[in-house]
Amino acid sequence: MGFFSRLGAVLCLFLLCVCGPTAAQMAGAVSSSNTESAPAALPDPLTPDAVREMVARMSDDQVRGMLLDRLDAVAAAESQVSPEQTSFFGSLNAIWTAFYSNPLDAILKLPTLLTREASIIASFTASIGGIAGLMTLLGLTAVVLAIAYGVEVIAERLTRRWRKQAATTDAGSLKESLRFLFGRFMREIFGLIIFYLTARTVGRILLTPEQIAFAAPLVTYLVWWPRLAGAVSRFVLAPQQPNMRLLNIDDTWARFVHRNLVGLILLAGFTKFAVGFNLATGAGLAETRLGFWLDSLIYVYIVYIAWTARDGLRDMMRGTDPDRTQYDENVARIYPYFAIAVAVATWMIVTILTGLGKTDQLLKGAHYVTMFWLLMTPLLDTVIRGLVRHLVPPMIGEGPLAEKAYRSTKRSYIRIGRVLMAGLVLILIAQSWDVTIADFASARQGIGTNLIEFLMTLAVGYVVFEILSLWINRQLAKEQTSAAPLEEETAGDGGGAGGSRLATVLPLLRVTAQVAIAVIFSLLAIGTLGIDITPLLAGAGILGLAIGFGAQKLVADVVSGIFFLVDDAFRVGEYVEVDGTMGTVEKISIRSMQLRHHLGLVHTLPYGEIPKITNFSRDWVIMKLKFTVPFDVDPEKVRKIFKKIGQQLWEDERFKGDFLEPFKSQGVSGIDDVGITIRGKFMAKPGAQFMIRKEIYNRVQDAFAENGIEFARREVRVAIPGLENAEDLSEDEKSAIGAAATGVVQAQIEKEQGKK
């Protein structure tokens, strides 16, 4: 045996000596053939130097024999572990045993809890010099706290002027409330920092390292933590300044929650201090079970707060946003029960971990951090909704379209904030258990790692989806609300101006992009689970090819629609005619368009069946009006009347923005058997011509009446010879002549009807 072989045997022997006793206890016995060289031959105490010295005195065969004995002991211990212990039901049995054994042990040790804790305190008192030493320690700690608090008070007085200026601020907006509350919070944090630095400096001067080991946790957990919690609670709840309060909660519940939150942190700090004190004095966690009872009391306290203040917590979670959804209402309603469930679940998990002996992270307070962030997550959702309400850009335009776009924008911001908040909370909880992203990155195998990557991929895809929807919805709101809405009187006439080109294309672009994002990130997420997505891609290609051959009409419709949109042949809101079918473009898709007739009918037209499109709403429209006046009316007089009316309308505030050319006369356009036909025309923006036309008719009628001009109407004149001396006719003769004229008129009417 050479030097390196002997050194390797020493290292193996050392490791087995550390692990061997535990394995031997699990096995119950060691190999009978090596009992003489087993534990009795090991040095006491078992240290690396003692092991080296023992091995140096042994021969190579003896070292080999001892190594084989230890390996046999470990193998025997592993062989005696039944398959049930490693199975799923065996794991459940172990968890159940850990769950009930921990409280049972605490109950059994409850009668001796006070006496055992008294003995631990007595042992600690004896270690620091008895009662005198304890009184000295407590007195010096009190002096340190008094000095630190005095320095803090002096620092606050130096900033009194600043404090008074901030205190006189009246809440008139969220910005002013935040400025006041944040200023007060920073002053309190400044005072706490002064308190901490002073206590740390003075403590190192007055106290010994052994005394600091006791005083530092005492001050941190029982003074620093509660004061910090009070500062944070005053910032959020403002129990004494209801006009500055950021959350929707009344004074009674604000003060109740504030007091009990500080009390809860004080109880948690006392639990940490008591458990740490017991461990520092050599008492294990299972010796008195004080930590179990104090930790359980924390969860009972949380249940008490959630149940007592459930009405206030619901109002706080509901918030003041008028656009909250049913989901927000449901979250607010169940939040108190959610808090109770989190407290109960945390107690159960802590009990199981303690029963299994996995207390390293519990001693660091990982379960408190986890519970805190789980309870804060719904409240953070309320905060996100409040911030979005105040920080989102104001509504663009007016009307239902603008309101719908504004609410959609707010919901997109809220959903993005929720995803980011959920990711941040998960990271903080994972860090409290000493689990980082690097750990997942290094663990390339396992269902847990794949599941985390799957969820992260879906989260990133969802955020991209919402950001794209947010941008498109905002652009769409600008385009849809930039055009002036039509008046109610003209809404049913058709021919109005349509939306912009973007307002027509953006909905299709939004749907296409959303589908593309959903498909891409879904495939990426499936790939993170270890599933080969190549067959899925190949199947999608084959399916697309089959659709292309089997649905040629569908492809023709889609392609035709693309070229119609590229040519900008129509837009949403425009009045068009397609092969005799007229209506306003109400909706478009990738395959067809819908036309709303001005009488309410809806026509759906596939793009592939559209031979041509006549657009009545593009850029401008000319409307011509006809007026028939008697033969004796002077056309020049009518022209002047039309010109005057056109000038008045051009300067009218209601119509001057809609005119492109004023109303004017086109002169005599025809003469018939009724009278003279005179035309007038004007050019206006599409959709505004109907209101202008109605106003022109009203003004022309009034102007004609003022100037003694009547509209020509159809008349039948009967000429009867010999009526020059009509005044000499008798009544019978006049009656006979009237009857004859009536007969002629009736005959003429019947003749015209016969022609029709």
36, 58: one domain: yes
Using the predicted structure, report yes or no on whether residue 498 has a pLDDT greater than 60: no
| Cis ω before 39 (30° cut-off from 0) | no
Q: Could you write out the DSSP letters of every residue in 194-242? A: HHHHHHHHHHHHHS-HHHHHHHHHHHIIIIIHHHHHHHHHHHHH-TT-G
- Summarize pLDDT for 232-253 with one digit per residue, the tens: 999 988 888 888 888 888 889 9
**Residue where a domain stops, chosen among 81, 105, 137:** 81
Residue 102: count of CB within 10 angstroms of its CB: 20
713, part of any domain: no
533, 651: one domain: no
Strand partners for 670: 677
240, 156: one domain: yes
The predicted structure's pLDDT at residue 144: 93
Tell me the mean pLDDT in the region 608-617: 80
499, 591: one domain: yes
The predicted structure's pLDDT at residue 3: 38
Backbone phi and psi for residue 584, each to the nearest 5 degrees, phi listed first: -90, 135
- Output 372 or 78, whichever has higher pLDDT: 372
**Residue where a domain stops, chosen among 615, 643, 675:** 615
337, part of any domain: no
- Among all chains, which residue has been given the structure tokens 């944070």? 232
How far is CA 255 from each of CA 130, 239, 240, rounded to the nearest angstrom? 43, 5, 8
How far is CA 325 from each of CA 242, 351, 381, 451, rounded to the nearest angstrom? 26, 38, 13, 30
DSSP single-letter state for residue 169: P
Tokens of 321: 């946003």
Whether the CA torsion 118, 120, 125, 126 is positive or negative: it is positive
The predicted structure's pLDDT at residue 1: 42
Tell me the mean pLDDT in the region 299-319: 91
Using the predicted structure, report yes or no on whether residue 35 has a pLDDT greater than 50: no
403, part of any domain: no
Q: How far apart are CA 234 and CA 247, in angstroms?
A: 11
688, 664: one domain: yes
Using the predicted structure, report yes or no on whether residue 656 has a pLDDT greater than 60: yes
Query: Is 490:687 a contact under the CB 8 Å cutoff?
Result: yes
- With b for 16 or more beta-carbon neighbours within 10 A and e for fewer, the 613-636 pattern comes to bebbbbeebebebebbbeeebeee
Q: State which amino acid sits at residue 516.
A: A
Q: Evaluate if pTM is beyond 0.75.
A: no
The predicted structure's pLDDT at residue 439: 60
The predicted structure's pLDDT at residue 293: 93
Whether the CA torsion 482, 487, 488, 490 is positive or negative: it is negative
DSSP single-letter state for residue 393: P
Query: Is 314:382 a contact under the CB 8 Å cutoff?
Result: no
The predicted structure's pLDDT at residue 89: 76
Using the predicted structure, report yes or no on whether residue 141 has a pLDDT greater than 90: yes
678, 638: one domain: yes
Using the predicted structure, report yes or no on whether residue 158 has a pLDDT greater than 90: no
Using the predicted structure, report yes or no on whether residue 657 has a pLDDT greater than 80: no
Q: Quick check: helix, strand or coil at residue 269?
A: helix
- Output 497 or 72, whichever has higher pLDDT: 72
List all residues 6 or more positions away from 29 whose beta carbon is below 8 Å from its beta carbon: 76
357, part of any domain: no
Strand partners for 593: 588, 605
Across the chain, mean pLDDT equals: 77
The CATH number covering residue 657 comes to 3.30.70.100
Q: How far apart are CA 395 and CA 402, in angstroms?
A: 7
Tell me the mean pLDDT in the region 193-214: 92
The predicted structure's pLDDT at residue 299: 95
238, 151: one domain: yes
Domain total for the chain? 4
How far is CA 410 from each of CA 122, 248, 401, 461, rounded to the nearest angstrom? 62, 19, 14, 19
Provide the phi-psi class of 582: left if phi over 0, else alpha when psi is between -120 and 50, else beta.
beta
Share of the chain above pLDDT 70, in %: 73
- Summarize pLDDT for 463-472 with one digit per residue, the tens: 888 888 877 7
Strands (E), 76-130: none
Highest mean pLDDT among 145-149, 182-186, 679-683, 747-751: 145-149
Q: State which amino acid sits at residue 58.
A: M
The CATH number covering residue 570 comes to 2.30.30.60
The predicted structure's pLDDT at residue 490: 44
Q: How far apart are CA 594 and CA 584, in angstroms?
A: 8
Of the candidates 529, 527, 479, 516, the residue with the CA atom closest to the CA atom of residue 499? 479
589, 641: one domain: no
112, part of any domain: no
Q: Could you write out the DSSP letters of every residue in 698-730? A: HHHHHHHHHTT------------TTGGGGGG--
- Domain holding 563, by residue range, is 484-615
Kindly report the length of the chain. Answer: 756
Highest mean pLDDT among 211-220, 535-544, 586-595: 211-220
**If pLDDT is split at 50, 70 and 90, which confidence band does 487 have?**
very low
Q: State which amino acid sits at residue 315.
A: D
Using the predicted structure, report yes or no on whether residue 123 has a pLDDT greater than 60: yes
500, 611: one domain: yes
The predicted structure's pLDDT at residue 229: 92
Highest mean pLDDT among 81-90, 202-211, 736-745: 202-211
560, 666: one domain: no
- Output 89 or 293, whichever has higher pLDDT: 293
Tell me the mean pLDDT in the region 498-516: 69
606, part of any domain: yes
Query: Is 596:679 a contact under the CB 8 Å cutoff?
Result: no
Using the predicted structure, report yes or no on whether residue 715 has a pLDDT greater than 80: no
Using the predicted structure, report yes or no on whether residue 23 has a pLDDT greater than 70: no
The predicted structure's pLDDT at residue 7: 34
**If pLDDT is split at 50, 70 and 90, which confidence band does 419 have?**
confident
Whether the CA torsion 159, 165, 168, 172 is positive or negative: it is negative
Query: Is 594:507 a contact under the CB 8 Å cutoff?
Result: no
Q: How far apart are CA 454 and CA 461, in angstroms?
A: 11
- With b for 16 or more beta-carbon neighbours within 10 A and e for fewer, the 483-508 pattern comes to beebeeebeebbbbbbbbebbbbbbe
Backbone phi and psi for residue 258, each to the nearest 5 degrees, phi listed first: -60, -50
579, 633: one domain: no
- Among all chains, which residue has been given the structure tokens 């003896």? 62
Tokens of 75: 């193998």
Tell me the mean pLDDT in the region 391-417: 74
Distance between terminal CA atoms of the chain? 132
Tell me the mean pLDDT in the region 648-664: 81
Minimum mean pLDDT among 256-270, 300-314, 365-379: which range? 365-379
593, 627: one domain: no
**Residue 679 burial by CB count (10 A; 0-12/13-18/19+): exposed, middle or buried?**
middle
The predicted structure's pLDDT at residue 193: 93
433, part of any domain: no
How far is CA 625 from each of CA 387, 664, 679, 700, rounded to the nearest angstrom? 57, 10, 6, 11
Q: How far apart are CA 51 and CA 45, in angstroms?
A: 10
Give 112-115's long-range contacts (Cβ < 8 A, gap of 24+): 112/288, 113/288, 113/289, 113/290, 113/293
Strand partners for 596: 584, 602
- Summarize pLDDT for 557-611 with one digit per residue, the tens: 777 777 777 777 777 777 888 887 888 888 777 778 888 887 788 888 888 878 8
292, part of any domain: no
Q: What is the CA radius of gyration of the chain?
A: 46
**Residue where a domain stops, chosen among 224, 246, 268:** 246
Tell me the mean pLDDT in the region 391-416: 74
- Among all chains, which residue has been given the structure tokens 């007089």? 637
Tokens of 34: 């090596």
Whether the CA torsion 683, 689, 693, 696 is positive or negative: it is negative
Strands (E), 305-355: none
- Summarize pLDDT for 70-96 with one digit per residue, the tens: 666 666 655 554 444 446 677 788 888
DSSP single-letter state for residue 610: -
Share of the chain above pLDDT 90, in %: 17
